[in-house]
Structure 1
Amino acid sequence: MHVSLMVAITVDGKIARASDHYPDWTGSADKQLYVKITKKAGVMIMGSTTFDTIGRVLPGRKTIVMTRNPDRQSDREDLVFTQATPEQIINDLDAQGYDEVVVVGGAKINQLFAASGLIDELILTISPYAFGSGLSIFSGAVDLKLALEEFWQLDANSICIRYRVLH
């Protein structure tokens, strides 16, 4: 199973001003890339705060929402709420026939996957903003060693960088 972590950050490395900050600052080119990559994978994993901030299921892919609330349920086939560990989620998706997944945040979920050693690549959009304070990519210390795979200009002011995680 190939696990990508996809995030948009400011030039000072923040993914949001606060946990409920709607990501409307990332630009249309980043949103198009997000749709392309998550639809290609067919499944994306996020935390409940990220899901609540987005406010809806995004079409054309399965959404796995990690939550600590056992009361959150869904009767939709494309939306799953789970209290499972990252390893359990990946094993379950693998058993369902998926071979690729995109982790899309937030910081706590990114941290859980990084700490579990499950991230194979980091897809990072750098947007032309600086927040000064806010949420980092990870909610705590990580030890990821990366190798640059490619980088490109997304639009007039944003770039995307793809790193391979060295295991």
Structure 2
Amino acid sequence: MHCFIIAALSADGFLAEKSNQNSTGWTSAEDTQFFKERTKQAGVVVMGRTTYETVGKPLPGRLNIIYSRQTPGSGLPENLRYTQLAPQELLEQLQAEGHSEVAICGGSSIYTQFMKAGVVDTLYLTIEPILFGQGINLFTEPLGGKKLTLRKVSNLSSQTVLLEFSTSSQV
């Protein structure tokens, strides 16, 4: 099972200025296109409840898994599930269902849970030309100096850069 983090960051390293800010309001069209293509290729997206509420609806063409303590009743769209499983358990369940790739789409606490569980293979980090000065960090807790290997640097546009890292366990 290949598990990757996908995130857009400001030039000073923030996911957003505040928790209810949708990244599509400040990221480039090229980042949005990369996100859409890469997550559709994966087929499964995982996000926290706050991120889901910011997006506002399930992402089409992908199974959407939402981490939440509150699970709604029946009547959910076919491509929407809620979970409280530990990251490793969730990945095992998805693999048993025939999925081979999962995109972790935020927010900070979900990124942190999956990194701390040691299940993330790759990080796709888009750097956008904007400064927030303060805001939401990529991770909510220290990760103990987790080593990464820079695999690729791509220009999504003349102003937007995509960094692809692998975790040191995948070197």
**TM-score using structure 2 length:** 0.94
> Which sits farther off after the overlay, 62-71 or 125-134?
62-71
What's the offset of the Cα at 1:41?
0.4
Closer/same/farther in 2, CA of residues 82 and 73 from structure 1, 3 Å limit? farther
Matches within 5 A, 1:1-167: 1-23=1-23, 24-71=25-72, 75-143=76-144, 144-167=146-169
- Asked if 2 retains the 8 angstrom alpha-carbon contact of 1:44 and 1:103, the reply is yes
What's the offset of the Cα at 1:71?
4.0
What's the offset of the Cα at 1:70?
3.6
Tell me how large the CA RMSD over aligned residues is. 1.2
Closer/same/farther in 2, CA of residues 108 and 165 from structure 1, 3 Å limit? same
Structure 1: distance between partners of 2:141 and 2:53: 22
Structure 2: distance between partners of 1:152 and 1:13: 18
- Structure 1 counterpart of 2:4, which letter? S
C-alpha offsets along residues 112-144 of structure 1, whole Å, 9 cap, x if unaligned? 001101110100000001100001110111132
Structure 2: distance between partners of 1:165 and 1:89: 20
Structure 1: distance between partners of 2:60 and 2:149: 32
What's the offset of the Cα at 1:18?
1.2
Structure 1: distance between partners of 2:31 and 2:75: 29
- Structure 2 counterpart of 1:148, which letter? L
| % identical equivalent positions | 34
- Structure 1 counterpart of 2:158, which letter? A
Gaps of 5+ in 1: none
**TM-score using structure 1 length:** 0.96
Task: State the SS of the aligned residue for 1:15.
Answer: strand
Closer/same/farther in 2, CA of residues 128 and 8 from structure 1, 3 Å limit? same
- Structure 2 counterpart of 1:159, which letter? V
Gaps of 5+ in 2: none
Structure 1: distance between partners of 2:133 and 2:112: 21
